[in-house]
């Protein structure tokens, strides 16, 4: 004879209704729903199982748990959930610090680090989960010269406002620029592009050694202007010409130029330096301190995977890409960013 579902008393029904209001997790609601359907006494155990995706045996098992142990028994799992891959406290902080400095080349490196620190062997799948939760992503590291002095770079960031104050002393209006140069040429730049899975993408290529130089300067604050100059070569006389262009863009202001210490860059003692221009040299081997470096990537993204027949055509393509910078101070400000440089510039020194 088929096993019948029993009747429930009012006390059990009230207990069930109260639990339905208090417990909201999916698995809890699933068990409570099965018992509620039993309490309604409209469906058989087979029909309830079919409606909820459970077997007839499971329906009776949940019912027996509820009848003998109440809601507490019904909502007590008979197994322990798997331990979640996680790092706590100081271990998690140390893991994030390792990510910040790019210590893990592969997930296996992170796996080995975790084992050494916590004496726990995690599966690679768990390590990938940890990397994702900690905000880890695969990225190409930026080259840092072995001779770079990190302490000097940090000192420059914290003392720039003082240098700006000294360089702007006695001036009426002062304008701050970041300056750099990029070489471009007819040798194509090959970069990643979107393609169809399973189909190899080809980019045109030809060996052509013709080069030019783009000189660029972005104003850090104020009007956020852009100054550009294309030249076939680069040396101190050419650099002096670009500095003169910047100085003449606003002859009544003093222009402070942040630039690296390349051999073709003028120093403050050079007689070719315009009278209304002062140089703020960056620490050696610290290109990351100069936001105008980002402009080089914009140019390469625009001209990559293409062949140009002559430099003039290439220069026209570069100018089209930089048109938004030339005509929009907001775009320049976006490229400069809201970091330490802007804070130093807005420290009350510049007028």
pLDDT in tens, 217-260: 999 999 999 999 999 999 999 999 999 999 999 999 999 999 99
Does 336 share its domain with 246?
yes
Residue range(s) defining the domain that contains residue 102: 89-133
Number of domains in the chain: 3
pLDDT band (50, 70, 90) for residue 147:
confident
Q: Are residues 32 and 172 in the same domain?
A: no
Mean pLDDT of 85-110: 89
What pLDDT, on a 0 to 100 scale, did the predictor assign at position 338? 85
- pLDDT at 17 (0 to 100): 86
Q: What is the residue-averaged pLDDT of the chain?
A: 89
Reply yes or no on whether the pLDDT at 348 is more than 60: no
Instruction: For residue 1, name the pLDDT band (cuts at 50, 70, 90).
Output: very low
Please report which residue ranges of 122-249 form alpha helices under DSSP H: 124-133, 150-167, 236-249
Place of tokens 């006390």: 11
* 3-state DSSP assignment of residue 230: strand
**Helix intervals (H) in 168-235:** none
Both 67 and 110 in one domain: the answer is no
Phi, psi for residue 281 in degrees, rounded to 5: -75, 135
Same domain flag for 66 and 99: no
Residues 303 and 197 reside in one and the same domain: yes
Entry pTM: 0.65
Indicate whether 321 and 182 sit together in one domain.
yes
Q: Binning pLDDT at 50, 70 and 90, where does residue 78 land? A: low
Q: Tell me the CATH number at 286.
A: 3.30.420.10
- The CB-based long-range contact list for 266-271 (8 Å cut-off, 24+ gap) reads 266/236, 266/239, 266/240, 270/236, 270/240
What is the average per-residue pLDDT within 287-315?
A: 92
């Amino acid at each position: 004879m088929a096993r019948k579902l029993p009747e429930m008393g009012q006390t059990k029904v009230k207990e069930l209704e109260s639990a339905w209001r208090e417990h909201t997790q999916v698995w809890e609601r699933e068990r409570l729903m099965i018992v509620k359907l039993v309490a309604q006494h409209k469906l058989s155990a087979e029909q309830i199982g079919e409606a909820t995706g459970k077997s007839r045996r499971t329906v009776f098992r949940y019912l027996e748990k509820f009848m003998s142990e109440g809601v507490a028994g019904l909502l007590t799992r008979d197994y322990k959930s798997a331990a979640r891959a996680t790092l706590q406290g100081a271990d998690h902080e140390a893991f994030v610090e390792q990510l910040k400095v790019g210590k893990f080349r592969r997930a296996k490196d992170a796996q080995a680090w975790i084992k050494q620190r916590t004496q726990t062997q995690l599966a690679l799948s768990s390590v990938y989960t940890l990397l994702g939760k900690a905000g880890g992503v695969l990225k190409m590291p930026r080259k840092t010269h072995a001779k770079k002095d990190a302490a000097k770079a940090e000192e420059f960031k914290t003392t720039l406002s003082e240098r700006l104050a000294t360089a702007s002393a006695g001036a009426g209006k002062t304008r701050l620029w970041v300056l750099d140069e990029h070489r471009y040429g007819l040798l194509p730049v090959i970069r990643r592009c979107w393609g169809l899975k399973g189909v190899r993408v080809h980019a045109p290529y030809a060996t052509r050694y013709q080069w030019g130089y783009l000189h660029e300067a972005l104003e850090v604050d104020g009007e956020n202007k852009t100054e550009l100059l294309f030249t076939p070569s680069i040396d101190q006389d050419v650099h002096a010409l670009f500095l003169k262009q910047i100085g003449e863009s606003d002859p009544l202001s003093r222009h402070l130029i942040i630039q690296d210490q390349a051999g073709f860059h003028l120093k403050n003692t050079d007689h070719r330096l315009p009278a209304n221009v002062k140089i703020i040299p960056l620490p050696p081997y610290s290109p990351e301190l100069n936001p105008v470096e980002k402009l080089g990537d914009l140019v390469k993204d625009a001209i990559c995977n293409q062949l140009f027949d002559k430099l003039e055509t290439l220069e026209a393509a570069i100018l089209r890409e930089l048109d938004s910078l030339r005509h929009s101070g907001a775009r320049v400000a976006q490229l400069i960013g809201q970091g330490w440089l802007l804070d130093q510039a807005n420290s009350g020194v510049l007028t």
